[in-house]
Amino acid sequence: MLFLLDEKGHLYLVKGDKDLHTKYGIVRREDLKNAKPGDMLKSHLGVKFYLIEPRIIDFLKKCKRGPQAITLKDCALIAAYSGIKSGSKVVDAGTGSGILAMFLANIVYPEKLVTYEIREDFAMIARENFSRFGISNIEIKLKNIYDGIDEKNLDLITLDLPEPWRVIPHAKKALKIGGFLVSYSPSISQVKKFCDSLSGFVYETIECLTRQWNIETMRPYSRMLGHTGFITFARLLER
């Protein structure tokens, strides 16, 4: 697998076994074959392509994702506000296309992250994403997290589910004291029902907006996501 960036920052993912056709011209198979991160190749039009060591953000850009997949900014806050690090024990549900699982697994590595999903079709997409990018520290469980959590002594449980309140009793057994149950919900009604069901936790709910600027013209871009989801951070005090 090769990751190339063109001069505009567009990302290309190729095996290197055939020519890469782009709007900036063709990058030849012969050139790709022996290329490695740090190298620069030129298309037949003379446009430059740069080989990079991929990072999690490059994987996330290139993986298969559903229309409602969680955004990078929300992944960022979930990881940061729960304070996880290499070695942290994390359970995630539902997997979906695996975006959040991949993001968090990248941080807790080499610790294994467990992600629960009941739909085999979603699990398949996620599994494909994980193996395609060589992410080995995720285990997918085809299991309904509403029925219970097998793991214990967890630092973080993340939920992207329609009825997150059904996980609360299980989370209380599975989390460390001081550990986080984080729920991501698009609707504030779901948040309300989740928070009203919490006991033994302290919590806060936030939403995050990011806005990109065009520095050449010195103005923000008018295109912006006005909403993705509300994130509730519930910290376990008492079982």
- Distance set, CA 12 to CA 103, 164, 167, 181, 212 (Å): 20, 37, 39, 36, 23
Q: Would you call the peptide bond into 162 cis, given omega within 30 degrees of 0 as the criterion?
A: no
Residue window 196-215: x/- pattern of binding to a copy of itself, with contact defined by CB under 8 A: x-----xxxxxxxxxxxx-x
* By CB under 8 A, residue 228 contacts a copy of itself: yes
Burial of 74 (0-12, 13-18, 19+ CB in 10 A): buried
User: 23 or 219, CB closer to a copy of itself?
Assistant: 219
Q: Report in angstroms how near the CB of residue 156 gets to a copy of itself at its nearest.
A: 10
* By CB under 8 A, residue 129 contacts a copy of itself: no
**Separation of alpha carbons 219 and 202, rounded Å:** 39
Site of tokens 């690090």: 85
* By CB under 8 A, residue 227 contacts a copy of itself: yes
Q: Report in angstroms how near the CB of residue 19 gets to a copy of itself at its nearest.
A: 22
Selected range binding a copy of itself among 16-24, 105-113, 143-151, 158-166, rule: CB under 8 A: 105-113
User: 29 or 48, CB closer to a copy of itself?
Assistant: 48
* By CB under 8 A, residue 26 contacts a copy of itself: no
Contact positions with a copy of itself (CB under 8 A) in 142-181: 155, 176-178
SS3 78: helix
The count of chain residues that interact with a copy of itself, using the rule CB under 8 A, is 78
Q: How many residues does the chain have?
A: 239
* By CB under 8 A, residue 55 contacts a copy of itself: yes
* By CB under 8 A, residue 136 contacts a copy of itself: no
Contact positions with a copy of itself (CB under 8 A) in 67-96: 72-73, 75-77, 79-86
Closest CA to 41 of 3, 15, 75, 93: 3
**Separation of alpha carbons 7 and 47, rounded Å:** 8
